[in-house]
Amino acid sequence: TAARDVQSILRELGLDGQLSGAYAGEWIPTSGPELEVRSPGTGEVLARIPQAGAAEYERCVEAAQAAFLKWREKPAPLRGEIVRRMGERLRAKKDALGALVTLEMGKILQEGLGEVQEAIDIADFAVGQSRMLYGLSMHSERPGHAMREQWHPLGICGVISAFNFPVAVWAWNSMIALICGDACIWKPSPKAPLCAIATTKILAPVLEEEGLGALLGLVIGTNEEVGERLVADRRVPLISFTGSTRVGREVAAKVAGRLGKSILELGGNNAMVVTENADLDLAIPAIVFGSVGTCGQRCTTTRRVLVADAIADEVERRLVAAYDQVRIGNPLADGTLCGPLIDSHAVEGMQRTLEEAKQEGAELVYGGEVLSLDGDESGGHYVKPCIMRASNSMSVVQHETFAPILYLIRVADLDEAIAQHNDVPQGLSSAIFSSDVREAERFLSAVGSDCGIANVNIGTSGAEIGGAFGGEKDTGGGRESGSDAWKAYMRRQTNTVNWSRELPLAQGISFG
């Protein structure tokens, strides 16, 4: 039955025939090296995609630029109306697309569906935002003068996305970029290209009706052929990159070198502070969802727990009991809470980190085993989520390993917790569990968490789309999704209009 399910999911999304790796308003035949897509849960080959190369990339950019010139003239609320129709299409395909996320990327079905919901949510948000691209008006110091700012469309936005959120993070960028009047070119992760093809097949027809399909360009290709070209391309004023800090640093330097704009969503090293005043009935499940959810492969995954000495034994005991209840297995199956890692490299990376952790003196509390590897009967990349006692200064704790490893770190008090909390290179998401308003507010204050996201009595992951998403330091400083993140996708223009019959100069200068 599993095999039939897979085929029916692929068929429903139009992925069962010959696939192309490039869309530029129409699907362009591609003939580059084949990308083989395997399901991380079973090892089964889901598809083979002939990749796009330089020529197809060029077609996408040219078509996107031409479409942009028309799109920017459409009033923003009418652009919003088109995005509204896209949200409707996503709603209609939520079940199938959510299942595809699970098949291709390995997160459990509940999370696959949640990811598509996140894309629907941002589409809805973008519709409202399309009537709220507000600029300020200022009071001129000169008589008979008016001053204001306007926000204009920017151009082509290149979106380079990661495997772990193969639909939602692209949607954060593209839905907002579209209402801002931009075109998009998507280079998805080679580990999740089917989600990109399916999403484009669902959404682009809405734009095709307007003759503007090329606004949602898609290029599946290697970094050499496509990624580097996109990053270096002066016709692409904005690059939004999600991925590792190492690659993000290179992307940032290249885009800055041509004075382009970039939005960077890089690694996290997210911690939860659990004080003596924490409600552990909330904290324990929040830690489990944060650390085990998506098999530890969210940017926002809880990687460190900074726990008050006095309650550390109890927290450890309760976490072990909770981890023991986590059902690991086929991510499509009911009741599974933890699916596989994305591939064998991720499994090896986790094992390497655990080895290094032991050498540095971390103590294994729970889990960490490889449950099966490629070549085993199931072919999946399953591991047992792991808990370790560690200290914050260990090099394994300072690095992000994209796997379910949770470091328990004991601290004497809130001062020490905050100091250690901030003593890592990354600054994405953070949380405190405390029912004491003084502790909670201090954590959120200027002397508290240094992260882009700081929560009280909820976990580090699973943010809603309404807020700005992103983080500081090695996380890259970008903000996407809600709040005023839309401003990054537009260009600001300051206007001064003289409606008087004089020509006074600013700063009181008299000239001639």
Candidate residues 24, 169, 214, 417; the one interacting with ligand UN1 per rule CB under 6 A: 169
| 164 lies in the site for ligand UN1, by CB under 6 A | yes
- Tokens 């990053």 belong to residue: 231
* The one segment of 9-17, 246-254, 295-303, 415-423 that binds ligand UN1 by CB under 6 A: 295-303
| 300 lies in the site for ligand UN1, by CB under 6 A | yes
User: Which CB sits closer to ligand UN1, 330 or 481?
Assistant: 481
User: Which CB sits closer to ligand UN1, 102 or 164?
Assistant: 164
* The one segment of 162-170, 304-312, 343-351, 491-499 that binds ligand UN1 by CB under 6 A: 162-170
Instruction: Give the separation between CA 367 and CA 407, rounded to whole angstroms.
Output: 12
User: Which CB sits closer to ligand UN1, 298 or 473?
Assistant: 298
User: Which CB sits closer to ligand UN1, 333 or 458?
Assistant: 458
Q: How many residues does the chain have?
A: 512
| 119 lies in the site for ligand UN1, by CB under 6 A | no
CA 462 to centroid of chain Cα atoms: 11
- Nearest distance from residue 300's CB to ligand UN1, in Å? 4
User: Which CB sits closer to ligand UN1, 30 or 461?
Assistant: 461
- Nearest distance from residue 181's CB to ligand UN1, in Å? 25
User: Which CB sits closer to ligand UN1, 290 or 367?
Assistant: 290
- Nearest distance from residue 469's CB to ligand UN1, in Å? 7
The β-bridge partners of 37 are: 47
| 298 lies in the site for ligand UN1, by CB under 6 A | yes
| 263 lies in the site for ligand UN1, by CB under 6 A | no
Best CA proximity match to 180, nearest among 418, 482, 431, 487: 487
For helices 76-92 and 94-105, the axis angle rounded to 10 degrees is: 70
Candidate residues 23, 68, 151, 165; the one interacting with ligand UN1 per rule CB under 6 A: 165
319-378 positions binding ligand UN1, by CB under 6 A: none
- Nearest distance from residue 299's CB to ligand UN1, in Å? 3
| 201 lies in the site for ligand UN1, by CB under 6 A | no
456-475 positions binding ligand UN1, by CB under 6 A: 461-463
User: Tokens standing for 341?
Assistant: 């890692």
The answer to whether the CB of 332 falls within 8 A of the CB of 344 is: no
| 243 lies in the site for ligand UN1, by CB under 6 A | no
Active site residues per annotation: 265
User: Tokens standing for 87?
Assistant: 């949200």
Contacts of 472 (CB under 8 A, 6+ apart): 427, 450, 451, 452
Paired sense of beta strands 270-274 and 45-50, if any: unpaired
Contacts of 167 (CB under 8 A, 6+ apart): 97, 101, 115, 116, 118, 119, 195, 199
For helices 94-105 and 193-208, the axis angle rounded to 10 degrees is: 150
- Nearest distance from residue 192's CB to ligand UN1, in Å? 12
User: Which CB sits closer to ligand UN1, 71 or 402?
Assistant: 402
- Nearest distance from residue 339's CB to ligand UN1, in Å? 15
Q: What share of the chain is helix, strand, coil (3-state, %, to 5)?
A: 40, 20, 35
* The one segment of 298-306, 309-317, 374-382, 498-506 that binds ligand UN1 by CB under 6 A: 298-306
C-alpha separations of 281 from 172, 302, 324, 420, 502 in Å? 33, 17, 17, 24, 70
* DSSP string for residues in 137-203: EE--SSTTEEEEEEEEE--EEEEE--SSSTTHHHHHHHHHHHHTT-EEEEE--TTSHHHHHHHHHHH
Residues making contact with ligand UN1 (CB under 6 A): 118, 164-165, 169, 242, 298-300, 461-463
